[in-house]
Amino acid sequence: MGTATAYAIVISGLVNELVLVDINRSKAEGEAMDIAHGASFVKPVNIYAGDFSQCLDADIIIYTAGAAQKPGESRLDLAARNTAILKETLSEIIYPDSKSILLVVANPVDVLTYAALKTIKMPPGKVLGSGTVLDTSRFRYLISRHCLVEPRNIHAHVAGEHGDSEVLLWSTANIAGISIDKFCDRRGLSVPDRNTISSGVRRAAYEVIARKGYTCFAIGLAVKRICECILRDESSILTVSGLLSEEYGLNNVCMSLPSIVNREGRAITLEVSLAEDEKSALQRSAQALRQVLDNLKI
């Protein structure tokens, strides 16, 4: 995942310096060399293997460390192992008054984002997780296949946990301001089966892992997009994960809601109008995450 992210960032021309840090220094060197050898095909970038000290004061620190999700294993199953790894390493790569933005990508991303906040005590907006940015892309992709419309023209979001309890916000999904069902009716298409698409989004990672053992390319592109919003100060809306402060009556948990992302990080969380069943589903998603946090005593 880290390598795919680095590759996506390099070919985007977004940064001029990128350091790869891994417990296996030799592997980090090999990955950096492999990408650097394409220097004549991309904009100038200095990519190299480094150590924890070189993360300090970086504009963005992308945290991808942790055990990988295995076939049949949920993201939340990784919680204890990866929380321990995070607590062991985080103080070495960032300090409490750092101006860096910490972007957590390792799973379970919502749990680790919360653990990071509790560990380093930075302003909440400066610590965010990749959340459901990828899930949102999967949602739009599946809608696009049914509606025969390019995915970037579809406005639809996935909120809540990046995992089995995530909530697909069908009530606000639209194409050019037209609800998905009405759009399909006007084009003579069948109404999409919401259960099939919802299952497709939730099962996406499991299906990829069952076939190749891991996911990397789409999440690499998702992380690149988050970094782009931050470094270019775009104030774009992404479903990143962060600490909730009474949105929909939820607090003391990190999960995803549509948020404005810019140079400040997760600057503003948007409390959009939702259907009652979606609000209830968000409550259940938050409860599932809170239970994991309580079990881990975070």
> Strands 127-129 and 101-104, how do they pair?
parallel
**What is d(CA 90, CA 92) in angstroms, rounded to the nearest whole number?**
5
Q: How far apart are CA 214 and CA 207, in angstroms?
A: 10
Distance of CA 20 to CAs 47, 55, 63, 274, Å?
8, 9, 11, 41
pLDDT at 209: 92
| Inter-CA distances, 162 with 122, 142, 152, 242, Å | 22, 17, 21, 12
Catalytic residue among 37, 155, 157, 162: 162
The pLDDT value recorded for residue 91 is 86
Q: What is the pLDDT of residue 165?
A: 95
Instruction: Report, as an integer, the average pLDDT of 84-93.
Output: 90
pLDDT, one tens digit per residue, over 64-76 is: 998 776 777 676 7
Name the percent of the chain lying above pLDDT 70.
98
* Domain 2-129, classified CATH 3.40.50.800, yes or no: no
Distance CA(70)–CA(217), nearest Å, equals 17
Q: Is 146 a catalytic residue?
A: no
User: What tens digit of pLDDT does each residue of 6-41 get?
Assistant: 999 999 999 999 999 999 999 999 999 999 999 999
| CA–CA gap between residue 134 and residue 141 (Å, rounded) | 10
The pLDDT of residue 75? 64
Other beta carbons within 10 Å of 19: 17
- In this prediction, residue 96 carries a pLDDT of 78
CA distance 266 to 116: 15
Over 70: is that where the pLDDT of 268 sits?
Answer: yes
Q: Domain boundaries in the chain?
A: 2-129, 133-296
Q: What angle do CA 39, 45, 49 make, to 5 degrees?
A: 95
Q: What is the mean pLDDT of residues 85-91?
A: 90
Q: CA-CA distance, 148 to 183, in Å (whole number)? A: 11
The pTM for the full model equals: 0.94
Least confident interval from 14-23, 58-67, 77-86, 249-258:
77-86
Average pLDDT over residues 46-53: 94
Q: Edge-to-edge strand order for the sheet containing 154-155?
A: 154-155, 174-175, 178-179
- What average pLDDT does this structure show over 106-128? 94
pLDDT for 152-195, tens place per residue?
Answer: 999 999 999 999 999 999 999 999 999 999 999 999 999 999 99
**CATH assignment of 133-296?**
3.90.110.10
Which of 58-72, 92-106, 108-122 bottoms out in mean pLDDT, i.e. has the lowest?
58-72
Q: What is the mean pLDDT of the chain?
A: 94
